[in-house]
Amino acid sequence: MKNLKAVILAAGEGTRMKSKKPKVLHEILNKTMIDYVIDTAKGCGAEEVCVVVGHKADEVKAAIVKDGVSFALQEKQKGTGHAVMMAGDFIEPNRDILILYGDTPLIQGDTLEKLVEKHRQESFGATVVSAAIENPEGYGRIVRDSNGKFLKIVEHKDATQEERCIKEINTGIYIFKGADLITSLAKLDNHNVQGEYYLPDCLELILKAGGKVGAVVAEDDKEFFGVNSRVQLAEAAKIMQQRINRRHMENGVTLADPENTYIDRDVKIGIDTIILPGCVLEGKTEIGEDCKIGPNSRMTDMHIGNGVTFQSSTGIESEIGDNTTAGPFAYIRPNCKIGKNVKIGDFVEVKNSTVGNGTKIPHLAYIGDTDAGEKVNFGCGSIMVNYDGEKKHRTTVEDNVFVGCNVNLVAPVTIKAGAYIAAGSTITRDVSEDVLAVARARQQVIEGWKKKRMKKES
């Protein structure tokens, strides 16, 4: 949307969180509350966003790494109107300004788009989003005349008994014409019970100056749910989880138990993939089609192809190709590129390694800092000895190598294509193509040993 900017208020302390951390930096599904609000503002077309910071301002600023976001500082929290005044330079007369709160992460783009549309169609100087709620205690109330025309917003603490009976409340979300916001902010005073500059008073001032003000009733009051405590944080997280999970199911993903599936907002999943209970899919994870994930699997920033099985395993910042299986109890650590039709079996750890197509690592192995080719077989207990106590070294295992059970490959070392490594070998030197390398003591048999020993003991 053209000519749209957003101001996000986030200067308040949020004492009820009982936290060392600023309130807006608390996370829902691995994303801070303020990030949700910024993304939503941008998603609905705000070209630039200004975040008003105050309490622990530096910490909040440092946590927001996004393009098109600037900051305004409100040193003392003298009210929502005062907070917006601090963003003075950001507000341009010929642009519309959305006002949002940093602690209302559930707000959705569609809702804001509708608000902007209505505001522009009716040529309002300001439009506020209201909601009808059962228990309006604490909120600002929307006062209308007998024809239902908006008059003003009165804060709970300033309201008369009669006004307190009004159930239509101010959600705290508004859009202003820049010019009207600038002139009304200039007239704002703090002559009220709390001695604060109230942003809602701007609406009455715009009306009095001959402008038009609208109040649109929200369809879903959950969207404006503000988080003030850890209990509310959990409530908001639940709603977010349900929303995300619903979207995936609508897009063709099966979630066996959505209540026990935690998917971050930016995760992508292909159709006909099945997510079993207890999965946590984080960050920018992308999963292809026809996969079976879980139960109890965790992925962070993973890229998974089609037809992959990933059972009771953990994967971090790595790639897995089509039709590969992992788990149960595999641990894929950062920077792995695992090919197609690979088998990563139980209790296998892979780190900073490439694994070629068709390679099998069926059980109990450590593949670290390794480049493994195609169709390699790593026997049970294969260990890449990558660390000499000071430095990490790489191991190369070329195509079609057969690594027997309980083998140590002491890096740096290269095993050439087609070689066989005998079980129990500790390999410290390069092995050439198609040979059998045996590096273990030859078996000895001492005849009559038990008898001799029994004699000694008696």
Beta bridge partners, 350, equal: 332, 367
Least Å distance between CB 126 and ligand UD1?
13
Least Å distance between CB 194 and ligand UD1?
8
Q: Which stretches within 175-296 are classed as H helix? A: 178-187, 201-208, 230-250
Least Å distance between CB 141 and ligand UD1?
8
Would you say 260 and 275 are in contact if contact means Cβ atoms under 8 Å apart? Answer: no
Half-sphere exposure of 400 (CA within 13 A, CB side): 8
Chain positions contacting ligand UD1, by CB under 6 A: 9-12, 52, 54, 74, 77-80, 82-83, 101-103, 139-140, 153, 155, 169-172, 198-200, 226
How far is residue 156's CA from residue 185's CA, in Å, rounded to a whole number? 21
How far is residue 197's CA from residue 194's CA, in Å, rounded to a whole number? 9
Q: Alpha-carbon Rg of the chain, whole angstroms?
A: 31
Closest to ligand UD1 by CB, 24 vs 255, is 24
Would you say 268 and 286 are in contact if contact means Cβ atoms under 8 Å apart? Answer: yes
Q: How far is CA 49 from CA 85, 219, 266, in A?
A: 15, 25, 20
Q: Are strands 309-310 and 325-326 parallel, antiparallel or unpaired?
A: parallel
The dihedral through the CA atoms of 52, 54, 58, 59 has a sign that is negative
Closest to ligand UD1 by CB, 11 vs 255, is 11
Least Å distance between CB 241 and ligand UD1?
23
Closest to ligand UD1 by CB, 131 vs 267, is 131
The dihedral through the CA atoms of 189, 192, 195, 199 has a sign that is negative
Residue 59: both structure tokens together = 């910490």
Least Å distance between CB 133 and ligand UD1?
10
Would you say 115 and 173 are in contact if contact means Cβ atoms under 8 Å apart? Answer: yes
- CB atoms closer than 10 angstroms to residue 285: 24
Residue with nearest beta carbon to ligand UD1:
140
SS3 of 354, please?
Answer: strand
Would you say 73 and 90 are in contact if contact means Cβ atoms under 8 Å apart? Answer: no
One-letter amino acid of 430? D
How far is residue 211's CA from residue 201's CA, in Å, rounded to a whole number? 14
Closest to ligand UD1 by CB, 140 vs 211, is 140
Q: Are strands 150-154 and 141-144 parallel, antiparallel or unpaired?
A: antiparallel
Closest to ligand UD1 by CB, 52 vs 143, is 52
Closest to ligand UD1 by CB, 101 vs 378, is 101
Least Å distance between CB 154 and ligand UD1?
8
Residue 420: both structure tokens together = 């066989």
Catalytic residues: 363
Least Å distance between CB 275 and ligand UD1?
34
Closest to ligand UD1 by CB, 12 vs 404, is 12
